[in-house]
Amino acid sequence: MRLLLFDIDGTLIAGGPARDAFAEALVAIFGTTGPIDDWDFSGKTDPQIARELMAAAGFSAARIDESLEDLFDHYLGGMEARLPEMPVDRLPGVDRLLGDLEGRVRAGEVGLGLVTGNHVRGAALKLGSAGYDRFFFVGGQAIGGFGSDHEFRNELPAIALRRAREHWRIDFEADNVVVIGDTPRDVECGRAHGTRTVAVATGSFGVEALRETGADIVMEDFSETEQVLRLLLD
């Protein structure tokens, strides 16, 4: 069985109200967004972003730690309230790709999971807005590593692999695992665990920048479904 671990933002979906909801939550809990307009979010976990912004705004590590739970409760509630009027966008080719993979999952050929900086509840909300939650969340549970599991992205593949092993009772070899994302940090976290890596230029990084990361495969998007499947599964 091949295990495919997808990032979410910039890889499967784009847009939506998350950034606005996050900014509102920061103001509600800390009284400021910090330097959010100039901050690089790409490939980072939600807690990492919050910590960096609030540290830059002068808050202590202890103050940030004690407020993260309230921050994410506010953020996730705000995002859920906004999503009906500001749904996420589906990226090119993702509908058909996931639909094809769904059949392979049923046949026991492929396992689908997530490696994402999103809080697990945020991941469910975003994927639900796109209609993709059914591919990744079964009975409310998903195989994956999330920002709510660990603040540092390089720790997430190991968490996803542990959950995949528990779910499928398979010890996945690293060369049979593919981490798929749109940023250099996605590639880095996969390479740190010896997995295969696929970078897709549907986020804020172009093909050339992604090639420089050393990703095993770099593609423009997922539009050419048959070709993408060959690259992911061969």
**What's the pLDDT tens digit per position in 217-226?**
999 999 999 9
Predicted pLDDT of residue 64: 98
What's the pLDDT band for 234 if we cut at 50, 70, 90? confident
Classify residue 113 by burial, with Cβ atoms within 10 Å: 0-12, 13-18, 19+.
buried
Predicted pLDDT of residue 140: 79
Q: CA geometry: angle at 165 spanning 159 and 170, to 5°?
A: 150
Class of domain 2-14+89-233: alpha beta
Pick the CATH number of 18-82 from 1.10.10.10, 1.10.287.370, 1.10.150.240, 3.40.30.10: 1.10.150.240
Alpha carbons 223 and 93: distance in angstroms, whole number: 4
The domains of the chain are located at: 2-14+89-233, 18-82
User: pTM for the complete prediction?
Assistant: 0.96
What's the pLDDT band for 116 if we cut at 50, 70, 90? very high
What is the torsional sign of CA 16, 64, 66, 162?
Answer: positive
Alpha carbons 91 and 199: distance in angstroms, whole number: 14
